[in-house]
Amino acid sequence: MNKIFKVIWNPATGSYSVASETAKSRGKKSGRSKLLISALVAGGLLSSFGALANNYDGQPTDYGDGSAGDGWVAIGKGSKANTFINTSGASTALGYDAIAEGMYSSAIGSKTLASGGASMAFGVSARALGDRSVALGASSTATGDRSTAFGRYAKTNGYTSLAVGDTALADGEKTIALGNTAQAYEIMSIALGDHANASKEYSMALGASSAASAANAIAVGRNSAAAGVDSLAFGRKSLASAANAIAMGAESKAAENATAVGTNAEANGLNSIALGSGSIADVDNTIALGNQSQASSGWRNCHRSRE
């Protein structure tokens, strides 16, 4: 009877056990092989992750005195993020050639630029240049401090201005342009509607293709126009053509200091009044009252002849 024993590796239990000296240990060699293969695979994976990380080659730009990497994030070829003292104000740039220069700024998207403090640029070629400005949309630009440009090619130049819509423009301080190609140019002007245009200070153009082209002028309605200082045009294709004119009603017209109220009403004379649908006051200081009424030059001449 064999009374000589030895310790061998048991692959079934994954441990060492006592066996006859004639028994063979084969599992230990297999275990070592598996360990070697695992190490090689792990090394390969780490190498691949390293290669992947090298593709994100964003670089810090030391515009401030902070050390590179202190809080900044730059991901994408050619991207640059500013660094600041003690990580305070570190910026974020994500995308090809994205640049975040301003303190706490964020540039997200290919060729974006956020140069204003706490500014945000989102979208291909979006630019947020003013402090605390926001540019959202392809090729949008927010130049004014605290301004917001939202839409493709939308642009804000004024302080706290707002432009929303493709190619919308808020050019002056505290201006608002809402609508595709809407334009508000001077201080506190408002343009609301596609192609609406408020070009002077405190003017308002509300409606598609409406236009307020004088100070304090108000145009409300599609294709309405208020061209005089303090004038009011209210209704589709209404026209207040001179200072203090009031035209209310579709296709109504009013001259200087004149008032036209009603569809197709016309007050063409200075200080004239036309009230009623289709009423016409052609002569200075005349009044046409009622639907289809007229105060014309012919009536005036007749009145004079009676005198």
pLDDT over 60 (residue 106): yes
Out of 51-60, 128-137, 155-164, 235-244, pick the least confident.
51-60
* Equal CATH topology for 70-179 and 185-296: yes
Comparing C-alpha atoms, which of 125, 96, 127, 65 is closest to residue 82? 65
Name the CATH superfamily, with its identifier, for domain 70-179: Serralysin-like metalloprotease, C-terminal (2.150.10.10)
Of 26-30, 53-57, 97-101, which one has max mean pLDDT? 97-101
Question: Alpha carbon of 252 to those of 42, 142, 150: distances in Å?
Answer: 81, 38, 35
Q: What is the distance, to the nearest Å, from the Cα of residue 264 to the centroid of all Cα atoms in its chain?
A: 39
Residue of 142, 143, 121, 118 lying closest to 132 (CA atoms): 118
* Tokens found for residue 78: 């050619």
72 has pLDDT over 90: no
Identify the weakest region by mean pLDDT among 53-62, 126-135, 194-203. Answer: 53-62
Predicted confidence (pLDDT) per residue in 277-287, tens digit = 999 999 999 99
**pLDDT tens by residue, 187-236:** 999 999 999 999 999 999 999 999 999 999 999 999 999 999 999 999 99
pLDDT at residue 18, rounded to an integer: 56
Dist CA 87 CA 79 (whole Å): 18
- Give me 247's structure tokens: 């035209």
What is the predicted pLDDT for the residue at 73? 87
Domain boundaries, given as residue ranges, for the chain: 70-179, 185-296
Residue 298 predicted with pLDDT over 80: no
pLDDT value of position 257: 98
Domain 185-296 has CATH 1.10.1780.10: no
pLDDT of 54 higher than 80: no
Longest dimension (CA), the chain: 157
Predicted pLDDT of residue 297 = 64
* Percent of the chain scoring above 90 in pLDDT: 68
What kind and span of H or E run contains 48?
A: helix 27-55
Query: Which pLDDT band, with edges at 50, 70 and 90, does 22 fall under?
Result: low
Q: 133, 126 in Cβ contact below 8 A?
A: no
Q: Which residue has the tokens 């004239």?
A: 272
* Sign of the four-CA dihedral 14, 16, 20, 23: positive
Rg of the chain on CA atoms, in Å = 38
Cβ contacts of 175 within 8 Å, gap of 6 or more: 158, 161, 162, 184, 185, 186, 187, 188, 189, 190, 191, 198
Please, are residues 277 and 291 in contact by the beta-carbon 8 Å criterion?
A: yes
| Burial class of residue 117 (count of CB atoms within 10 Å of its CB; 0-12, 13-18, 19+) | middle
Does the pLDDT of residue 79 top 50, yes or no?
Answer: yes
The model carries a pTM of 0.75
Chain centroid to CA 288? 49
Residue 7 — pLDDT band, cuts 50, 70, 90?
Answer: low
The answer on pLDDT for 65 being more than 90 is no
